[in-house]
Amino acid sequence: SRIAVFASGQGSNFAALAAAQRGGRLGSGRIELLVSDKPEAPVAQRAEEAGVPSLLLRPKDFASRELYEAEIVAELQRREIGLIVLAGYMRLITPTLLVPYAGRIINIHPSLLPAFAGKDAIGQALDYGVKLTGVTVHFVDGGMDTGPVIAQRGVQVEEQDTVESLAERIHQVEYELYPQVVAEMAAGRVGLTGRKTVIRK
Ligand code: GRF
């Protein structure tokens, strides 16, 4: 499958996915494009280093969210992208993208959803005082971190954890889990019935 990664930030998950592809751990997945809404974000540099072309847009240059996304859809279609992988893409997706890519957009979130959706999930978990948090990969719908769950991994919260130390362990889990799920998606092994997903072996 031809993949577009959408990201707004550091791009460490982008880099982990690119490394997985180089190492043969992304199955038939090929990262063909980075899409970013923050042209100055470090992820753009990561794409350049990985030799992946990027589409860098400023949403405020467009009259509406729909026109911004329509520009993205046109580029995805030109490149025959079949799977959209959100990796720290800090905006909601509208039907302009959701309709043509129904069931083909996934996201990673640093908590065990439905707990701690939205921004600063790691800080939210620490503030709440949970003893177990983790990572979720899920299908994307129009809500914030609300689509059907594909895979989850737990991460223990230690008494002396700070946001930084906990984030470090959560990120390591992300870098391992996301390439696995992307490979399963690329192989067409992730099925969906209502909110329930299954991974066929
Ligand atoms: C990750 O923690 C991801 O779960 C969340 O945003 C963060 C992105 O980090 N959605 P990076 O840009 O991949 O380094």
Per the structure, the complete domain to which residue 80 belongs is given by 2-199
pLDDT of residue 142: 95
Atom of ligand 1 nearest to the CA of 43: 12
Q: How many domains does the chain have?
A: 1
pLDDT tens-place values along the chain, 201 residues long: 999 999 999 999 999 999 999 999 999 999 999 999 999 999 999 999 999 999 999 999 999 999 999 999 999 999 999 999 999 999 999 999 999 999 999 999 999 999 999 999 999 999 999 999 999 999 999 999 999 999 999 999 999 999 999 999 999 999 999 999 999 999 999 999 999 999 998
From the candidates 46, 104, 109, 171, which is the catalytic residue?
109
The residue nearest atom 4 of ligand 1, judged by CA position, is 109
Q: Determine the atom of ligand 1 nearest the C-alpha atom of 42.
A: 12
Residue 10 Cβ contacting ligand 1 at under 6 Å: yes
Q: How far is the CA of 160 from the centre of ligand 1 (A)?
A: 23
Q: Are 109 and 122 in contact (CB under 8 A)?
A: no
Which pair of tokens denotes residue 163? Answer: 């946001």
**With a cut of 0.85, is the ipTM above it?**
yes
- First and final C-alpha spacing in the chain: 18
Residue 201: the pLDDT is 84
CATH number for the domain spanning 33: value is 3.40.50.170
Closest C-alpha residue for ligand 1 atom 14 = 12
DSSP 74: H
**171 part of the active site:** no
The structure tokens listed for 50 are: 């990985």
Cα angle for residues 38, 44, 50 (degrees, 5° grid): 160
36 is annotated as contributing to ligand binding: no
Phi, psi of 3 (to 5 degrees): -115, 140
The CA 190 to ligand 1 mean position distance, Å, reads: 22
Beta strands in 95-156 (DSSP E): 105-109, 132-139, 149-156
CA pair distance 32, 76, nearest whole angstrom: 10
pLDDT at 78: 98
Give the nearest ligand 1 atom to 16 CA. 13
- Residue 136 DSSP class: E
